């Protein structure tokens, strides 16, 4: 009986040592698409993948501080560059994985929301709060700010901006009615039942959105990470990404 505890502890530790699942630090906007792809990867015998989803700026900082992960997928170049600058990624493995678009969203049943059809409508007094990822670092917020600056309305909208932790948080505050509008990725709004896209961000002012991916320099399973990365560029994953509204780039044809 006395040794029962030891046996239990050993049983807990052994399988963990036997096979570590692959850890992917990925932009939170990829949550649903990557989970679907991981399920497909497991079905194809690729092994277990677990995810650490957060704003890319948070992930880049975790990696720069040596957080254990095998693959990093960022929602913008800047955060990938920060991880690279800290020596946290294998730069030779870096690829541009996906493209995306921005959308302005409102609640489906909101009277204010029905007034919003184009960019100038965001200046209306009825729009009191515009939620975006923190424009200081969260990629979706950085892109949003870049768009509003290019369109020349940032200074007039800045006082309405509610900076939130990441793009899914911006979606959530529109869903619960705390903000009248938010700028998120087109892929986020497709998943929501209460929020709808008021309009897509298009035209010359729309910033190009690229999701780079790279293998983490201190990964202990760089080979497994490489296999998963090439699966992400393969036809099956590409079709899943497309289904969620992403634009696969550099796919392995």
CA dist., res. 177 & res. 29, Å (int): 21
Helix (H, G, I), strand (E, B) or coil at 64: helix
Q: Which two tokens stand for residue 104?
A: 């302005």
Question: Quick one: 93 or 110, whose CB is closer to other proteins?
Answer: 110
By CB under 8 A, how many residues form the interface with other proteins? 20
Build a one-symbol-per-residue string for 150-189: x at contacts with other proteins by CB under 8 A, - elsewhere: -----------xxxxx-------x--xxxx----------
CB of 112 to other proteins, least distance (A): 10
Q: Which of 24, 82, 119, 198 binds other proteins (CB under 8 A)?
A: 82
Nearest-approach distance from CB 126 to other proteins, in angstroms = 13
E strand or H helix at 58: helix 56-64
Name the residue nearer to other proteins (CB basis): 58 or 198.
58
Structure tokens belonging to residue 38: 């991981």
Window 34-73: residues binding other proteins (CB under 8 A): 55, 57-58, 61
Backbone conformation region of residue 49, classed left if phi is above 0, alpha if psi is from -120 to 50, else beta:
beta
**Residue number with CB closer to other proteins (178 or 242):** 178
Does 212 bind other proteins (CB under 8 A)? Our answer is no
> How distant, in Å, are the alpha carbons of 15, 125, 157, 194, 202 from that of 182?
44, 15, 12, 13, 16
Query: For the chain, how many helices (H) and strands (E)?
Result: 10, 11
Residues in contact with other proteins by CB under 8 A are 55, 57-58, 61, 82, 128-129, 134, 136-137, 161-165, 173, 176-179
């Amino acid at each position: 009986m006395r040794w029962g505890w030891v046996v239990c502890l050993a049983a807990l530790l052994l399988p963990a040592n036997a096979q570590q699942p692959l850890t992917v630090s990925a932009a939170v906007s990829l949550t649903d698409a990557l989970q679907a792809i991981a399920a497909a990867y497991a079905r194809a015998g690729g092994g277990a993948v677990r995810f650490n989803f957060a704003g890319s700026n948070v992930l880049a900082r975790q990696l720069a501080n040596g957080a254990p992960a095998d693959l990093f997928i960022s929602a913008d170049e800047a955060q990938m560059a920060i991880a690279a600058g800290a020596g946290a990624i294998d730069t030779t493995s870096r690829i541009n994985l996906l493209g995306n678009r921005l959308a302005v969203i409102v609640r489906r049943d909101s009277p204010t929301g029905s007034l919003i059809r184009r960019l100038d409508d965001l200046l209306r007094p009825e729009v009191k709060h515009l939620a975006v990822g923190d424009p200081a670092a969260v990629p979706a917020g950085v892109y949003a700010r870049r768009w509003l600056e290019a369109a020349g309305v940032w200074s007039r909208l800045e006082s309405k901006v509610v900076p939130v932790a990441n793009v899914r948080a911006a979606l959530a505050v529109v869903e619960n009615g705390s903000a009248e509008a938010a700028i998120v990725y087109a892929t986020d709004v497709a998943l929501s039942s209460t929020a709808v896209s008021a309009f897509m961000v298009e035209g010359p002012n729309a910033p190009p959105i690229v999701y780079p991916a790279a293998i983490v320099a201190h990964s202990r399973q760089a080979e497994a990470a490489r296999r998963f990365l090439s699966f992400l560029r393969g036809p099956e994953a590409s079709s899943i990404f497309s289904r969620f509204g992403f634009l696969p780039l550099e796919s392995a044809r």
